[in-house]
A and B are shown apart, each in its own frame.
Chain A
Amino acid sequence: METLPIGKSLERIDARAKVTGRAEYGADVRLPDMLYCKGVYAAHPHAKLLAVHTDEAKRAEGVACVVTGADIPGEKMFGELYVDQYALVCDKTRFFGDVIAVVAAQTQEQADAAADLVTAEYEELPVLATPQMALASDIAINADYPNNICGNVHVRKGDIVAGFQAADVTVSGTYRTGFVEHAYIEPESVTAIPDRMRRELTVLGCAQAPYNLRLTVARMLNIPIAQVIVKPSVIGGSFGGKIESAESLAVRAGLVALITGRPAQYTLTREDSIRESYKRHPIDFDIRLGAKRDGTLCAMQVEAIGDAGAYINMSPPVMYKTATLGPGPYLISNVDYNATSVMTNTVHTGSMRGFGTPQAIFALENAMDELAEKLHLTPTELRRKNLLQNGDVSPCGHLLDFHEVSIRSVMEKAAAELEFDDKYARYTAENKDGRRIRRGVGIAVSMRGASIGADGNGFDVARAYIEVLDDGSVNVDLGLTELGQGLRTCQSQMVAEGLGVSFERICLGNTDTSRAPATGACIASRSTLLGGGALKDASIKVQAIMARALARQFGKSTDGIVFREDRVKFADIDISFGEAAKICYDLCETPIAVGTYVVPRLNWNEEKGFGEPFYTYTYSCHAAEVAVDLDTGSVDVLKMVGCHDMGRAINPAMAKGQIYGGLAMAQGMALIEDLGHSAKTSALKNLNFEDYLIPTVLDVPDCNVPILDEHHDPRSAFGGRSLGEPATEPGAGALLCAVNHALGHAGLIRELPADLDRVFAAIRSMEGEKS
């Protein structure tokens, strides 16, 4: 029997270090003579920064240096796509999380104390705390964007006017979501270490995107890229959150390290982490759907406004995903989806697991339930009527003829596990008997584009390095980061299968940007598809080198050579992989290769908002069951089911782990997580876990079920594709559909989070209407 490495739930390679306390996270780094840093935050969220006074802080006990924006020798701003973010403010503060100075001292306590001694002079400007205020104002937060609009994607298909004219029934309404914090349990920490021989920096710590960080540090501190070496530490969760957040810390700590010649560690407190790190976009959706009497969708029109906050960050690509994936996995001929991001003086928003889609799916799926209610159909009946099938054209115009369009099977499996249809009928009936605790069920579906999409046409690339050693062990250098999802175990499984060797031969070391070739980052649920492609390419190249050596050694043709299950076979030769490796070295061949994978150019028409927005898709469905207490407004989640077709599960246990975690994260977004943003001052009130509540073990149902509905994707080297983001994407939508079902009125609650106050108010207004 064959024992291929993929598809097995192998033990994660970093687990033993993590359960023994040996794993070294950013703040665990200890170096001789190391300094500790503390940032000084802006006192005003929108103000000209006239002066920063640091003399007193510089004289404080233990202080080695105090730096400000003026000390940055290179470019003053950074950003992955749009360069507009300060690591240290130079001329104007834009939100409360801006840092105006950094104090470095012998101990953290000394740095904290001295930071309080830094003062500044400001000329205050009006605070634009919401997109509505920013759109109405003639003041530009960023002069390059005079109307404060920093991103817009407009998807159009068919004829929206004719679509609504053809509709028998329409629904419309406004849905809103709030800021969501990533809430990785490890607050950000980086350590910058100056080289003793030359102007070179090594950066350790929580870098989700080490090559982006390298570039930012190089540009801002005037160091050649090759002399910024990034070695991510073990990372304590990220969910998209430790990209730009880690970069600004690295620039500040790097500046201290270069000035003092000493290692500098910069660790955020939880409060500072929440204050300055970017969030999930709050998005307002004006949504309108039209359908025939039998439920066939004929028109979808959405106007979405996202709050970009103080810096552009990832807002334009987030709007791209909102607009291209927001229409869902439905067959619909007439679509007009317009997503716009607006800058404000609030905390900036950027990458977070889902990247603009959990919000959109929440809005669409609840509107779908409104439509179902109006048509006297159940939620599943309406969806069954409209879900995509093989050969259909997606809402954006993509002909889906290249893989199994499995969304119907995915939904049916989730629905069956929750007994959705039965419970929907039962609860609908029993809730009419006047009971005060009502149950409800909800279901939400999504299709997620793998990787960046056409938005990244031409630069959606991954690279990997494979080196076979003369004992047959395999060194792999890969710049895609382990964030806890199990990436490095899964990538090891893919190399093993690609090379045709046993898993045990694979040695995937820690990422080191001076060793692993530059790769696009571990973002956008792209690493299985992209990393797999690069590893496959490198494997083929290494095998070709080995085949050449073997042909020389044995004097036989290696045409049709097979590397499989640790054996190498050609002609009448059958040797172990280890023997083959040794022959290469005996003959002075070099079985080393760098593999590259680039997503093929996608045919997307940006002007028309139509075409192929992504290369391939993952299909997902979440179903949820809740109990709502009409007297208190409390929502008890009874069960959630997550069913996903991620192509092929490289490591099924870890794939299920993503789903368990994604369901819990969706629950937090749907029901409790609230940063307490002030629409007046733009401040965030809830800066630690005593106020910013995330689900605990007692909140999450003990009976949640993850389901894998695998259909290997021919567009992926090893058949697998995205799961990280899909795993949380439809959950908030499903939960709100369930809450609204329990309350007897689809679309009753249209704003997240549906916390105690909001649910209670909805119940009061509903009962007030009746009485």
Chain B
Amino acid sequence: MKQITLRFMLNGKNMELETAPNKRMLDVLRGDLGQTGTKEGCAVGECGACTVILNGEPVASCLVTAAQMQGGTVLTIEGMSETLIGRVLQDCFVEGDAVQCGFCTPGFIMSAYALLLKDPHPTREEIREAVAGNICRCTGYIPIVNAIEQAGIKLRA
């Protein structure tokens, strides 16, 4: 397949690379760009480990193609420390014991980031719905929901 010149913004930086248009966004990030913070858990969009933000919306990057990234703005876990919401979420996940094995964590933080970006006052139920596409086998979810709720409180303070 013919390669395309893919241009997009990744965590605030302009990116340009030659790649196949049908390559998965996940492989562009992890393979072409070596940004391995985004994880692959199922490759069918069920586990949420590969969640990133594309143009303000959380997406499963295993289901998005390179061509769909063209001209877009992408945020990944690697860029979270440079955002206020991301930093607060990271702190709350650490302090709230919302991290165990950590493999699902980047995906959860990205889903939570997308929620808090749009709605700084989410209810617990809204938080639960926002991360319903992310699965975790370690934590039993409650500490994660607590952490996101706490992040909302801190961001409003």
Q: Are A660 and B135 in contact (CB under 8 A)?
A: no
Query: Does A516 touch B at the CB level, under 8 Å?
Result: no
- The reply on A184 being an interface residue by CB < 8 A is yes
CB of B21 within 8 A of chain A? no
User: Which residues from chain A contact B39 at a C-beta distance below 8 Å?
Assistant: 25, 185-186, 236
- Whether the Cβ atoms of B100 and A697 lie closer than 8 Å is no
Interface centre among B36, B81, B99, B124 (most CB of A within 10 A): B99
For residue B107, give the distance in angstroms from its CB to the closest CB of chain A: 9
Closest A residue to B36 by CB, please name it.
Answer: A28
Q: Is the pair B132, A237 in contact by a Cβ cutoff of 8 Å?
A: no
A-contacting 9-mer, from B2-10, B43-51, B66-74, B114-122: B43-51
Residue in B81, B101, B132 whose beta carbon sits within 8 Å of that of A186 in the complex: B101
The answer to whether B103 touches A25, judged by C-beta atoms less than 8 angstroms apart, is yes
Known contacts A185-B49, A694-B137; A30/B34 CB under 8 A: yes
Chain B: minimal CB distance from A729 (Å) = 15
Inside 8 A of A697's CB, which chain B residues have their CB? 128, 131-132, 134, 136, 141, 144-145
B61 within 8 A of A: no
Q: Nearest B residue to A19 by beta-carbon distance? A: B90
Question: Which residues of B have CB within 8 Å of A592?
Answer: none
| CB-defined contacts of B46 to chain A, threshold 8 Å | 688-690
The interface bits of chain B over 118-157 (1 if a CB of A lies within 8 angstroms of the residue's CB, else 0) are: 0000001000110110111111111111000000000000
Q: A688–B44 contact, CB under 8 A? A: yes
* Chain B 36-64 interface residues, beta-carbon cutoff 8 Å to A: 36-44, 46-47, 49
- Evaluate whether A665 and B97 lie within 8 angstroms (CB atoms) in the complex, with A30-B34, A270-B41 already known: no
CB distance from B136 to the nearest CB of A (A): 7
Cβ–Cβ contact B99 & A187, under 8 A: no
In the complex where A270-B42, A484-B100 touch, is A20 in contact with B78 (Cβ < 8 A)? yes
Confirm or deny: A120 has a beta carbon within 8 angstroms of a beta carbon on chain B: no
Alpha-carbon separation in the docked complex, A232 to B139 (Å): 22
Report if A106 contacts B (CB, 8 A): no
Contact indicator A27/B140 (Cβ below 8 Å): no
A236:B101 contact, CB within 8 angstroms? yes
Contact A184 B145 (CB under 8 A): no
Question: Could you say which of A10-18, A248-256, A391-399, A549-557 contacts chain B?
Answer: A10-18
- Of all chain B residues, which has the CB nearest A651? B97
Give A15's nearest chain B residue, CB to CB: B94
A127 to B48, CA, bound (A): 37
Q: A185-B136, A657-B97 are in contact. Are A702 and B103 (CB under 8 A)?
A: no
Q: Is the Cβ of B132 less than 8 Å from the Cβ of A21? A: no
The answer to whether B138 and A484 touch across the interface, beta carbons within 8 angstroms, is yes
Chain B residues with Cβ below 8 Å from A18 are 99, 102, 105
Docked-complex contact B42 and A689, CB < 8 angstroms: yes
Within the complex, what minimum Cβ distance (angstroms) separates A692 from chain B?
A: 9
**CA A689 – CA B38 in complex, angstroms?**
18
Counting CB contacts under 8 A, is B25 at the interface?
no
Q: For the complex, what is the distance from the CA of A656 to the CA of B98, rounded to whole Å?
A: 11
8 Å CB contact of A20 from B43, B77, B103: B77
Tell whether A63 is near chain B: CB-to-CB under 8 Å. Answer: no
Q: Quick check: is B80 within 8 A (CB to CB) of the other chain?
A: yes
A269 lies within 8 A of chain B by Cβ: yes
Which one of A184, A484, A689 contacts B44 once the chains associate, using CB atoms below 8 Å?
A689
Alpha-carbon distance between A632 and B131 when the two chains are bound, in angstroms: 26
Q: Which A644-663 residues have C-beta < 8 A from chain B?
A: 653-654, 656-657, 659-663
Pair A19/B109 contact, Cβ less than 8 Å: yes
Contact B97 A653 (CB under 8 A): yes
Assembly CA distance A27 to B42 (angstroms): 13
- Contact present for A21 and B141 (CB under 8 Å): no
Closest-CB distance, A487 to chain B (whole angstroms): 11
Take A237-B103, A689-B47 as given contacts and tell me if A21 and B145 are in contact as well, using a CB distance cutoff of 8 Å.
no
Q: Are A183 and B137 in contact (CB under 8 A)?
A: yes
A478 to B130, CA, bound (A): 39
Q: Report yes or no: B97 in contact with A187, Cβ–Cβ below 8 A.
A: no
- Given contacts A24-B36, A185-B135, A664-B141, whether A15 and B49 have CB atoms under 8 Å apart is no
Interface SS majority for chain A? loop
The answer for the CA separation of A629 and B21 in the assembled complex, in Å, is 48
1/0 per position for A168-192, CB-CB distance to B under 8 A?
Answer: 0000000000000011111100000
Cβ-based interface call for A483 (8 A): yes
B77 touches A21 (CB 8 A): yes
Q: Report the minimum CB–CB distance from A438 to chain B (whole Å).
A: 24
Q: A689-B42, A697-B131 are in contact. Are A21 and B97 (CB under 8 A)?
A: no
A23, A25, A236: most-surrounded residue (chain B CB, <10 A): A236
Q: How far is the CA of A12 from the CA of B105 in the complex (A)?
A: 14
**Is A386 an interface residue when CB atoms closer than 8 A count as contact?**
no
Q: Mark A226-259, 1 if CB is under 8 A from B, else 0.
A: 0000000011111100000000000000000000
- Shortest C-beta distance, A422 to chain B (Å), equals 24
With A270-B41, A664-B140 already in contact, the answer to whether A185 and B145 are too (CB < 8 A) is no
Asked if A197 is at the interface (CB within 8 A of a chain B CB), the reply is no
B137 engages A185 (CB within 8 Å): yes
> Of A14, A27, A183, A700, which contacts B40 at CB under 8 A?
A27
- Write the A464-489 contact mask toward B (1 if CB under 8 angstroms, else 0): 00000000000000000001111000
Does A457 touch B at the CB level, under 8 Å? no
Residues of A near B89 (CB, < 8 A) are 19
Cβ–Cβ < 8 Å partners of B141 in chain A = 660, 664, 696-697, 700
Contact, CB under 8 Å: B101 / A484:
yes
Q: Which of A18, A186, A665 has the most CB of B within 10 A?
A: A18
**B137 in complex: contacting residue of A234, A237, A270, A486, CB < 8 Å:** A237
Nearest A residue (CB) for B102? A18
Shortest Cβ distance from B79 into A: residue: A21
Determine whether the beta carbon of B142 is less than 8 Å from that of A184.
Answer: no
1/0 contact string of A379-421 vs chain B (CB within 8 Å): 0000000000000000000000000000000000000000000
Q: CA A18 – CA B135 in complex, angstroms?
A: 16
**Complex contacts, B136 vs chain A, CB 8 Å:** 185, 697
In the bound complex, CA of A185 to CA of B131 (Å): 15
- Expressed in whole angstroms, the Cα–Cα distance for A239 and B101 within the complex equals 11
- Nearest-CB residue, chain B, relative to A699: B141
- Look across to chain A and name the residue whose beta carbon is closest to the beta carbon of B49: A185
Query: Which residues of B are found within 8 Å of A698, using beta-carbon distances?
Result: 128-129, 132
Q: List 30 A-B contacts (CB under 8 A).
A: A9-B97, A12-B94, A12-B97, A15-B93, A15-B94, A16-B90, A19-B102, A19-B106, A20-B90, A21-B37, A30-B34, A184-B137, A185-B41, A185-B104, A185-B137, A186-B103, A187-B41, A236-B102, A236-B103, A237-B103, A270-B47, A660-B141, A660-B143, A661-B140, A688-B42, A689-B47, A689-B135, A698-B128, A700-B142, A704-B140
Known: A18-B99, A236-B103. 4 other contacts (CB 8 A): A14-B102, A269-B43, A657-B139, A660-B139
**Which A positions have Cβ atoms within 8 angstroms of B?**
9, 11-12, 14-25, 27-28, 30, 182-187, 234-239, 269-270, 483-486, 653-654, 656-657, 659-665, 688-690, 694, 696-698, 700, 702, 704
Q: Which residues of B contact A (CB under 8 A)?
A: 30, 34-44, 46-47, 49, 76-78, 80-81, 89-90, 93-95, 97, 99-106, 109, 124, 128-129, 131-132, 134-145
> 10 closest A-B pairs (Cβ-Cβ)?
A21-B37, A484-B101, A236-B103, A18-B102, A660-B140, A21-B77, A689-B46, A28-B36, A484-B100, A664-B140
